[in-house]
Structure 1
Amino acid sequence: MAGKNRGSVSLTQWLLIAAVIIVADQFTKILILGAFQLGDVHPVTSFFDLVRAHNYGAAFSFLHGASGWQRWFFLGLGLFAAGFIIWMLRRHGQQMLFAWALTLILGGALGNVIDRAIHGYVVDFIQVHAGGWYFPAFNVADSAITIGAILLILDELRRVRRS
């Protein structure tokens, strides 16, 4: 196959990995929705709780209190981002670290888009805290997006270092 690196991962394989992230995200959210009432808190360790929270906004509840327009804005933004990421994966899928970063972000973004489309909010359930300080609740999709963003930064640092 001309133009393809041996051992490179195809767009289909990247999309399958993103699908696994989406399934894991949605499965965990279904478990939380079935077992928890809104606001329930179940301590797991001294620094980690399982909770049920609904986020109508974006990261760190940005625009959580807006009048409802944010649902459609973030849903549209997530779909646009997914399309852009798929386009980038098609062009750069052979760049492993970069493609892993994009795939994690894609899976996470679509996991949260599904929540917005179905519920009107994102289901969050992971609560980390220490010494009275509480990090905003998050979910598997948010974790994938965060890890993907870290990988993007590492990829860029490697690229800058090489030049």
Structure 2
Amino acid sequence: MLAKFMRSGLVWLGLTLVVVILDQWTKVWAVSALSGGRIIEVMPHFDFRLAYNYGAAFSFLADAGGWQRYFLAGIAVAISLWIIYELARSKASQKWHGFAYAMILSGAIGNVYDRVTLGYVVDFIDWYWEKSGYHWPAFNIADSAIFIGAVMLIIDALFFHKKREAQKQQAEA
């Protein structure tokens, strides 16, 4: 049973767990260190600044009245279940997909946990361009993980999917 698990893509759940723990730990740190409007300047154009996101990406639906909390959590849970299904039917050796799915899953879990337990998502990473006053919307480790995983899947779809399909057809011939 353990050997079958180790050969399946479910082995990537280990990475998911590590990223979820890192995400939650950094959010606890952010709430503790940045409360009361405290800002930590990391370098020019990059600060740690606490923000609470009641909506989705870029605070979309943040002022929708509360229903979005459950709606967004439901979407994230559905996506998470689909990713776990995909991991279960894949092989551990499919490193690109395994890593990408693990990153997306960890981000979804980290943000759903916040949304369900707190009613909002804790964000604290702030990139900005001082001269223009432009701030990229604050984000967190979970958001970064989702972004990395999504970019990996897009790269795969654009550049490697046809090659993999051709190899699969050769193997079947």
Taking structure 1 as the reference length, the TM-score comes to 0.89
Tell me if 1:157 matches 2:154. no
Aligned to 2:53: 55
Query: How far apart are residue 39 of structure 1 and its match?
Result: 4.2
Partner Cα distance (2:138, 2:38) in 1: 12
SS of 1:36 mapped into structure 2: helix
Tell me if 1:120 matches 2:119. yes
The structure having more radius of gyration, on CA atoms, is: 2
Number of aligned positions between the proteins: 158
Matching residue's letter, 1:58: A
Q: Deviations over 1:106-135 (max 9, x none)?
A: 001000011011100000000001132210
Over 3 Å counting, the alpha-carbon distance change for 1:107 and 1:88 in structure 2 is: same
Aligned ranges for residues 1-163 of structure 1 at < 5 Å?
A: 10-37=8-35, 39-93=37-91, 94-130=93-129, 131=131, 132-162=133-163, 163=166
Partner Cα distance (2:161, 2:151) in 1: 15
Structure 2: which 5+ residue stretches go unaligned? Answer: 167-173
Aligned to 2:171: none
Structure with higher helix content: 2
Query: How far apart are residue 160 of structure 1 and its match?
Result: 4.0
Query: How far apart are residue 95 of structure 1 and its match?
Result: 2.4
Q: Deviations over 1:27-62 (max 9, x none)?
A: 000011112226432222111010110000011111
Mapped contact 2:80–2:105 kept (Cα < 8 A): yes
Over 3 Å counting, the alpha-carbon distance change for 1:114 and 1:38 in structure 2 is: farther
Mapped contact 2:9–2:89 kept (Cα < 8 A): no
SS of 1:126 mapped into structure 2: strand
Over 3 Å counting, the alpha-carbon distance change for 1:82 and 1:38 in structure 2 is: farther
Matching residue's letter, 1:75: A
Partner Cα distance (1:88, 1:36) in 2: 38
Structure 1: which 5+ residue stretches go unaligned? Answer: none
Calculate the aligned-residue CA RMSD, in Å.
1.9
Percent pairwise identity? 45
